[in-house]
């Protein structure tokens, strides 16, 4: 079992009242928001906090390339791509966690990033998994 599996299986939110396999829903990305409600929908049930976490490091080659890019100024595309990839991976892990607890939407989505060691960054994406229905 990988780290994410341990993180989810160790969580009280990993099991829904009727069992995760009975309530598994495919998440529509239009049902994920940074707000705490979805226009036209009402929250029927809260499933708990869900999260996706990814830890990435920069490679020596990437650091050299980024250093060269920084000499000319502007966007450092190597780091931009690394950051965007880490955010997307964390986002997708959060969605997977929400699906495992039977949610069909996620509200209050946030990102957080921390350097856990020199050159190693943790990206966390989290929100509240909910079951919504049209009003």
Number of domains comprising the chain: 1
User: CATH code at 114?
Assistant: 3.30.110.70
Least confident interval from 3-7, 73-77, 93-97, 98-102: 3-7
Percentage of residues of the chain with pLDDT beyond 70: 68
What pLDDT, in 10s, does the model give residues 21-46? 445 558 999 999 999 999 999 999 99
pLDDT of residue 106: 98
Query: Average of pLDDT values for 76-102?
Result: 91
Cα–Cα separations (whole angstroms), residue 41 to 100, 132, 135: 21, 6, 5
Kindly report, residue by residue over 104-124, the tens digit of the pLDDT.
999 999 999 999 888 788 999
Residue 42 belongs to a domain: yes
pTM for this entry: 0.74
Shortest CA distance to 41 belongs to which of 28, 31, 50, 49?
31
Task: Determine the structural domain holding residue 107 and report its residue range.
Answer: 3-57+90-134
- Average model confidence (pLDDT) across the chain: 80
Give the span between the Cα atoms of 35 and 75, in whole angstroms.
Answer: 30
């Amino acid at each position: 079992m990988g780290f994410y599996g341990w993180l989810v299986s160790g969580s009280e939110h990993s099991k829904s009242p009727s069992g995760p396999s009975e309530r598994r829903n495919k998440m529509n990305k239009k049902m994920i928001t940074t707000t705490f409600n979805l226009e036209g929908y009402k929250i029927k049930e809260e499933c708990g906090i869900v999260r996706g976490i990814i830890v990435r490091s920069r490679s020596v080659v990437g650091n050299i390339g980024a250093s060269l890019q920084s000499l000319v100024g502007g966007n450092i595309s190597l780091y931009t791509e690394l950051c965007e990839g880490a955010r997307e991976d964390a986002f997708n892990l959060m969605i997977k966690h929400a699906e495992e607890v039977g949610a069909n939407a996620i509200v209050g989505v946030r990102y957080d990033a921390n350097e856990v060691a020199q050159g190693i960054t943790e990206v966390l994406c989290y929100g509240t998994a909910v079951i919504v229905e049209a009003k």
